Chain A
Amino acid sequence: MTDASTRISDQDSLWYKDAIIYELHVRAFQDSNGDGMGDFRGLTQRLDHLEQLGVTALWLLPFYPSPLKDDGYDISDYTSIHPSYGTLDDFRTFLDAAHTRGLKVITELVLNHTSDQHTWFQESRSSRDNSRRDWYVWSDSVDRYQQARIIFLDSELSNWAWDPVSRSYYWHRFFSHQPDLNFDCPAVREEMWKVMRFWLEMGVDGFRVDAVPYLVEREGTSCESLPETHEVLKSLRRRIDESFAGKILLAEANQWPSDVRPYFGDGDECHMAFHFPLMPRMFMAVRLEDRKPIIDILEQTPQIPETCQWATFLRNHDELTLEMVTDEERDYMYDEYAKDKSARLNLGIRRRLAPLMENDRRRIELMTSMLLSLPGTPIIYYGDEIGMGDNLYLGDRNGVRTPMQWSGGWNAGFSTADPEQLYSALISNPVYGYQVVNRESQRRSEHSLLSWTQHILGVRKSSRVFSRGSIEFLSAANHRVLAYVRQWNNERVLVVNNLSSSAQAAELDLRHLAGSIPIELFGGSLFPRIGQAPYLLTLGPYQFYWFRLRRF
């Protein structure tokens, strides 16, 4: 495979299948004007870093005007930029710069709700006979949709909130300051399409569609993933395909894979969807030193259409969600990864990758290796490439949203403002502080986590077998060893991971691959030819091998 054949080009409409996505928050990335908040100009300056790292797409968290009560997911204007982050022109400049570097840009599309500050809601609540009244879901009593669960258990008591202005209740699946839009109203659908067209025309390459299961409500149901919701998504997809080929929808539905499966439709709904249950199970597997959780969940994962892809991740801007695990598993995860109760939030753990791995480089690498070698398009959360820490003393999920640590200098190179002026305090403890953990120092060392990440991303991109290949698990008798063969066309890659903290021996039954020669992908070393006998590999603690299998 040469670079040319794998370069992600605009002609390749399946680019998202081969992508490596970098998730970042404009606010947290780079401040160019010294106001203590990141902005698009700053981001544009830092694109070199992302290009060098080797990611191929960026996913920007919400950057729209917003009262910022939910980290920007409470949008008050869909077609402009939050003044702190810059202007639409800044955004256009950034988009062009990214595209020049071959980076795709995915933005947030919050369909389900707006901020209560949005003019639509202001109009809707102003009187019961306002023309936008039916843009939101209103009710005179709280008895409707009683079967719908409350998602933010820690902060909300009901899905209905009282509006004193129009003296009735409005529906909200998330915070009460985020009223749900009414997708039964054709005008709302039309308006949202206009919003999408606005950004697509500007050049955005896709949307991460927030909270997709909750678009439509029906009495007597859980109000999640209703057929009407799928209908809304399908019609949006149709319109995209008609006018904006190659642009994608990435669905956020925190559900079991079999429940997420309908969001792919027959390849006519969303291009991608997050695989939520895999993530906690990868953490669990490493702690249990047992591959069972990973194999179990991937075996439960249904086949998806050829043009679709799962999006996988280790950490993101939210808590490490434990909704998609059993009670037993959740208790285990809490006990092992969040002994400190302050690290728990809702049904999850609000920590970054490095602290979760106790800053153990070997474990961080193993987790990244698994993320990059298991099926799906990997998403890397900003800062994790250098092993940034978190700040548990910041409320909600703000602990994992601290400024990016560029250097050991003033404000970690993030901003020239006074430290007090920063939107959030920097991490400055002796283990994860920016003086120790920063991009600048890691860039200088060939052996830093950053250099290693850069290297493994290069290996991952060297072949489409990782992004498009099938997976076959090998059942080594040793359950501490997770081994699988990825195959795409004639290309095969054997991956062997040692999930345990001690050295392990694994005997792999590779008879069906007899005759192949394993070539280690990081250093290019040859390993003995595979024969009929069990193939013996020994692995150090948390060690992993990626082998290309070649026949000579």
Chain B
Amino acid sequence: MMKANPIAIEPGVPGPEPAELPDDFLRQLTAAGEVDILLFVPSLNNRDTIGHVMNALQLGLVKYFPRERTAVLNADGGSHDGTPQVVRDSIITDFRAFLAANPLRTMHRITAAYDNSKGSWGALELLLSAAELMRAKACAVVSPDLLSIAPEWVESLVRPIRRQEFDFVAPIYHRHKYEGLLIKNLVAPVFRAAYGFRIREPMGSEFAFSGQLASRLLESGGWQQRCCEVGPALGVMAAAIANDYRTCQSFLGPRIYQSRRQEPDLVQVFQDSVGALFQGLEADHACWANRDGSSQVPTFGFEYSVALQPVRVSRKRLLQGFRLGVEELGAILEAILAPDTWRAVQDLGKLSDGGFHFPDELWVRVVYEFAASYHRSVLARDHLLQALLPLYRGKVFSFVMETERATTAEVENRLEELCLACERLKPYLVERWSQEK
């Protein structure tokens, strides 16, 4: 018998019966009917920014897809700041104030509420249901808190699907060298080494997928579980890659978003993203274990660069965090890391501030050993992820020191080395992964 691919999207496996759609939502879908492009903006208390985002999307559709049948779908997770009202008011009646063109067609805007208790999956489920009912050819997801969104984003996300028949589009953002450090230093290299695709932003909040992929996803029960666990972006992407759907990435520009009053702290963010990554590895083991090397993913868009706000880094605190972790978490780290690795990490703790250097190979081994320990549940998974954070701080400190005066291109090269180290050491991950306890 063939070994079942854990995330193979098999139509035969029925998913949990989706909740019945509300009548009003259904009525709006009936009115909009079949569409070619469905844009999706989930919202939760985004009064200040969502109007801008909705306008940008409408303009993008008119400017780049004037002939296509389109709809913008907003699902609200129960905002209490009047977000739905802002969405309702954000209708552009006269496009000539913005563009040379006026839309040929009626542009539909659909508003609905999603069940926030299911997390982001609740919103995505709504999108997939809508996509299925409206027979959408392309769906794109856009965050409601973006300040830097431009109509061009719609084109970048949707064009590869509409015109080149791709099934998944991952974003590429224009980033400051000290922006997105967790993605650059941990998530992206590990994702690339594991799945074999050079995706720069495996967790981008903006992405697009084909209607075909959406239907398959909706039919597959196991996959919904996945999306609950690892978040929509990574979930959809992993499903696309594991099932050999055509994947590409598209350049969007700088991603500037409105910061929230209660920004989730680093511990939470770290735990969520790395947890999602490890969870994904766990679920997709059958898919990645036998792949080696990595292949380039088709990339669209002109990567322009703009001056970004400089990012200040508190190096002192990073190093302090690392040293404190090595000093205090000995018992825990010892249980996770291989003896050699642990000794090497301990040696790092003794280095002077100026001479500190966290070698790529060591970092990759650390991450792989953590991933394997996560798989083997050496200790409570939350604790395990938290124990990795001080070491990550050490790696970031090292990265910041090395790239202090580096140009963008140099930083790119530096990160490419890390990715290659990740690929080189992949057999080690496979080995650790399957080790008996």
Contact = CB atoms under 8 A, between A and B. Distances in A.
B101 to A, nearest CB: 5
Interface in B98-117: 101-106, 108
Interface string A487-505: 0000000000000100011
Interface in A79-122: none
A480 B101 CA distance: 22
Interface stretch (A148-156, A224-232, A287-295, A426-434): A287-295
Given A328-B66, A332-B67, A478 B104 contact: no
A328 B69 CA distance: 15
A326 B101 CA distance: 8
B30 interface: yes
A284 interface: yes
B225 interface: no
A459 B427 CA distance: 82
Contacts of B33: 478-480, 500, 504
Contacts of A293: 104
A46 B24 CA distance: 57
A509 interface: no
Interface in A454-479: 476-479
Given A477-B31, A478-B30, A478-B31, A332 B104 contact: yes
Contact of B108 (A284, A479, A507): A479
Nearest to B102: A326
B424 interface: no
B106 A479 contact: yes
B106 A292 contact: yes
Contacts of A290: 69, 104-106
Contacts of B67: 288, 332
Contacts of B104: 284, 288, 290, 292-293, 328-329, 332
Contacts of B103: 292
A292 B105 contact: yes
A328 B31 contact: no
B410 to A, nearest CB: 45
B27 interface: yes
A292 B104 CA distance: 7
B37 to A, nearest CB: 14
Interface in B28-69: 28, 30-33, 66-67, 69
Interface in B280-313: none
A207 B103 CA distance: 38
A505 B30 contact: yes
A477 B66 contact: no
Contact of B27 (A328, A480, A507): A507
B35 to A, nearest CB: 11
Nearest to A290: B105
A280 to B, nearest CB: 12
A190 to B, nearest CB: 46
B51 to A, nearest CB: 22
Contacts of A296: 102
Contacts of B31: 476-479
Nearest to B66: A328
Interface residues of B, number: 16
A290 B70 CA distance: 12
A478 B108 CA distance: 10
- Size class of the contact patch on chain A: 20 to 34
A477 B101 contact: no
Contacts of A292: 103-106
Instruction: Name B's interface SS.
Output: loop
B61 to A, nearest CB: 13
A500 B105 CA distance: 13
Nearest to A480: B33
A312 B424 CA distance: 74
B28 A477 contact: yes
A476 B32 CA distance: 11
A332 B65 CA distance: 12
Contacts of B66: 328, 332
A518 B66 CA distance: 37
Nearest to B103: A292
Given A328-B66, A332-B67, A507-B27, A479 B105 contact: yes
Nearest to A295: B106
A213 to B, nearest CB: 24
B55 to A, nearest CB: 19
Contact of B105 (A288, A476, A504, A507): A288
Given A328-B66, A332-B67, A477 B27 contact: yes
A480 B27 CA distance: 14
Contacts of A478: 30-31, 33
A500 B33 CA distance: 11
Interface in B69-122: 69, 101-106, 108
B106 to A, nearest CB: 4
B202 to A, nearest CB: 37
Contacts of B27: 477, 507
A328 B106 contact: no
Nearest to A476: B31
Q: Which of B27, B31, B66, B101 has the most CB of A within 10 A?
A: B31
Nearest to B31: A477
Nearest to A478: B31
A293 B104 CA distance: 7
Contacts of A507: 27
Contacts of A288: 67, 104-105
B162 to A, nearest CB: 16
Contacts of A479: 31-33, 105-106, 108
A291 B101 contact: no
Contacts of A328: 66, 101-102, 104
A476 B31 CA distance: 8
Nearest to A336: B67
Nearest to A479: B106
Contacts of B108: 479
Q: Which of B30, B31, B33, B106 has the most CB of A within 10 A?
A: B106
Contacts of B30: 477-478, 505
Interface in A291-343: 291-293, 296, 326, 328-329, 332
A543 to B, nearest CB: 16
Interface string B271-285: 000000000000000
B102 to A, nearest CB: 7
Interface in B1-43: 27-28, 30-33
A507 to B, nearest CB: 7
B117 to A, nearest CB: 30
A194 to B, nearest CB: 47
Contacts of A480: 33
Q: Which of A328, A332, A500 has the most CB of B within 10 A?
A: A328
B31 to A, nearest CB: 3
A304 B66 CA distance: 32
Interface in A479-534: 479-480, 500, 504-505, 507
A152 to B, nearest CB: 26
A127 B266 CA distance: 94
Nearest to A293: B104
A123 to B, nearest CB: 49
Contacts of A476: 31
Interface string B301-344: 00000000000000000000000000000000000000000000
Given A292-B106, A326-B102, 14 more contacts: A288-B105, A290-B106, A292-B104, A292-B105, A293-B104, A329-B104, A477-B30, A478-B30, A478-B33, A479-B33, A479-B105, A479-B106, A504-B33, A507-B27
Interface of B: 27-28, 30-33, 66-67, 69, 101-106, 108
Query: Which 3 pairs from chain A and chain B are nearest by CB?
Result: A477-B31, A479-B106, A290-B105
30 contacts: A284-B104, A288-B67, A288-B105, A290-B69, A290-B104, A290-B105, A291-B106, A292-B103, A292-B104, A292-B106, A293-B104, A296-B102, A326-B102, A328-B66, A328-B101, A329-B104, A332-B66, A332-B67, A332-B104, A476-B31, A477-B27, A477-B28, A478-B30, A478-B31, A479-B32, A479-B105, A479-B106, A480-B33, A500-B33, A504-B33
